[in-house]
Amino acid sequence: MRPHSALALATNPQAQAAALGSLGDSHRLLGEYDRAQTYLQQALSLAQTTQNKPYELAALHSLGNNALSLSQRHQRRAASLTRQGELDQANSQQAQAKTTTALAQTYFQRALQIAIEQNSLPDQIKARLNLQGTDKTQLAELIAQLPPSRDRIYSTLDLAQQSPNPELLLTQAILLAQTIDDPRGASFALGALGQWQEKQGNYTAALTTTQQAILAADRAQAKDSRYQWEWQMARLLRAQANNPAAINAYEQSIATMESIRSDLLNADRNLQFDFRDSVEPIYRELIDLRFKTNSPAQLTSALTNLDALRLAELQNYFGSDCLIRASEQAKPGTQESKTAILRSVILSDRLINVLSIPGQPEQITTTAIPRLQLETEITALRQQLETYYNPFNPAPAQTLYKRLIEPFSPQLKAQNIDTLVFVNDGILRSLPMAALHDGKGFLIERYAIATTPSLSLTNTDVGGAANRALAAGMTQDAVIDGRKFRGLTNVAAELKGIQTILPGSQILQDADFTQDRLGVELKKTQFPIIHLATHGKFGAEAEDTFLVLGNQQKLSLTQLDTLIRKVSGSNELIDLLTLTACETAVGDDRAALGLAGIAIQAGAKSVIASLWSINDATTRDFSQSFYQNLKTTDKAKALQATQIKMIKTNSIASRPAYWAPYVLVGSWR
């Protein structure tokens, strides 16, 4: 029974308290911490009113966990803002993290007091494990008083995680799991001991222990632990220079993880942010190892792994398995003879680029450069490109051109390539490739350009006639989450211009630009194009990614996707979604994931979006020129023609700050 249903059926205060607690926990797992707090506080009040101590304890533990999860979100936001150079906002997030951590400690302290009064040993241990400054010796003595059980195993493992020398505790957990015949508990305990041995450099012992952990996971059918120990096995084999066996172990780890992908996505939303530590490295270490072999077969496999990583990154960002469906529905089609695919991989010590041209073997270049140095260069270039009033200095753009494009220039010329499709990695996603410079001109002056997060997610079917649009926008100021978004004074002219170029288009402006009205118009008429001239923000988390509606409400990408798919009555994609006043945080590769995945998440074949906010008079002119060009050519070439026109003007619009932020994501056709 679902928590909401249970709450509706509850007929007495105790049942209501239980249902509210379950409902609060469900919202916490979804990352909806404010709603979780509301329900859990109601559960606590009911439990206190009815003097039901077990329910009161459960509510306090849940409130503490909810506060800890919220604190971790504040810490992630602070880290993202620090990378962007927004130190004041970062400090504010750190302060909120400190406040919510203190609140969590208050809940756990109250839970401990009640647990002691009720003589509940398991609840005492649960509270003490979460309390800061707990006496570890006393805690170990309390855990030892528990009867042999799974609770005792996991309490011992939790305590071991907090210990600088966990070997004795881990050994105790292993023996206990064997005593009560708990293979799942044994798997986690053995795996943790193998990890400790790995850190100590005792690879022989670690291999044996890790193999035992895998066998225990098999016996328990615990794939959520097995993939971790298979990855651990791969690291150990790589450390011993047994690369073929290491590659096999990495492959097995990924295969195991893929088999439970949906389960991982539906787990605690906060745990999904362990992706950078517990999922992404598996792919990157395997890709790194394969590129080092210089084997054509391994190269092909590395490219497959790279595409799988892109999908996993996007699924983690959006916290949804809808991208799995998208990958199954995508129709990549045949790569055109004059289109080249450029993939990038940023590793800790080097940048790898792979060029794919139809009928030609893949070409690979490797540039030895520390990841941090490359990210610093990219961030500096992005910040320079955003500068409106200073003259453009092409030197940084030339440096990156030499790393990414110049090594492939002979092949591109020889094959008469006219379109480049970038599948970029990390922070490169936040950089407009059009602004790279060869010393004579910008890359966009030579090639039409598109980006895509993953070729397997890109539907390159040629769309129908782009003859009408649903064009919406806001001209009035809006305040969202305390932040003011200025009104876009030229939006009315922008929307009217689109309607003139594409007769049959429908305009929604300001008060008419709402989620409900969008749904009504989309249901009434099939629009191949949706054009939204409104502020949008791509943040480091999907929860921080949204569009601003005319009624000062937020529209998430998930809500937009639901709108589009619901009214279409199928999984049919719209041909083009245009967002002309968005911004993507500079210096944060997770923020760029929102932009990279928007085409798939929003149910569109292609997206035209801006990387940073632009003068909306320029946006008006850009939109009209683009849609006029789109009547006679594909999207990539229409964008190219529009940007070249801006470059050639004798006005301030010729500077990259005005034309470079517009990027085409998804299908270039």
Asked whether residue 262 carries a pLDDT value surpassing 50, the answer given is yes
In 3D space, the residue among 636, 667, 600 whose CA is nearest the CA of residue 461 turns out to be: 667
pLDDT, mean of residues 454-479: 83
Q: Is 611 helix (H, G, I), strand (E, B) or coil?
A: coil
Q: Give the tens place of pLDDT for each residue, 551-597.
A: 999 998 878 888 887 665 555 678 999 999 888 777 677 777 887 77
- Write down which residue in 134, 168, 197 finishes a domain: 134
The pLDDT of residue 1 is 46
Structure tokens belonging to residue 173: 């957990």
Amino acid at 144: A
Number of domains in the chain: 3
Domain membership flag for residue 260:
no
CA distances from 423 to 19, 385, 452 (A): 46, 21, 5
Rounded CA gap, 424 and 434, in Å? 13
Kindly state whether residue 204 falls inside one of the protein's structural domains.
no
Domain termination site, one of 457, 491, 515: 457
Q: What is the mean pLDDT of residues 16-42?
A: 90
Question: Comparing 533 with 540, which gets the higher pLDDT?
Answer: 533
Is a pLDDT exceeding 70 seen at residue 117? yes
Give the range among 64-78, 243-257, 293-307, 568-582 with minimum mean pLDDT: 568-582
- When mean pLDDT is compared across 82-96, 99-113, 492-506, the lowest value belongs to 82-96
- For residue 342, being part of any structural domain is answered with yes
Q: Is the pLDDT of residue 533 over 70?
A: yes
The predicted structure's pLDDT at residue 128: 96
Same domain (yes/no): 408, 481: no
**pLDDT one-digit tens code per residue, 405-443:** 999 999 999 999 999 999 999 999 999 999 999 999 999
pLDDT (tens digit per residue) in 616-659: 789 999 999 999 999 999 999 999 999 999 999 988 899 999 99
Angle among Cα 542, 475, 592 to the nearest 5 degrees reads 25
CATH of the domain at 68: 1.25.40.10
C-beta separation of 3 from 22 below 8 A: yes
d(CA 499, CA 506): 7
Residue at 240 is within a domain: no
Strands 662-666 and 478-480: unpaired
Same domain, 600 and 476: yes
Structural domain that includes position 112? 1-134
Distance CA 346, CA 370 (A): 9
CATH code (residue 505): 3.40.50.1460
Terminal C-alpha separation, the chain: 47
Select from 105, 134, 163 the last residue of a domain. Answer: 134
- Closest residue by Cα to residue 46 from 37, 38, 56, 36: 56
pLDDT at position 326, please? 53
- In whole angstroms, what is the distance from residue 247 CA to residue 253 CA? 10
Task: For residue range 302-330, list pLDDT tens digits in order.
Answer: 999 998 898 888 888 887 665 555 555 55
Residue 205 lies in a domain: no
What pLDDT is stored for residue 18 in this prediction? 86
Tokens 């300001």: give the residue: 510
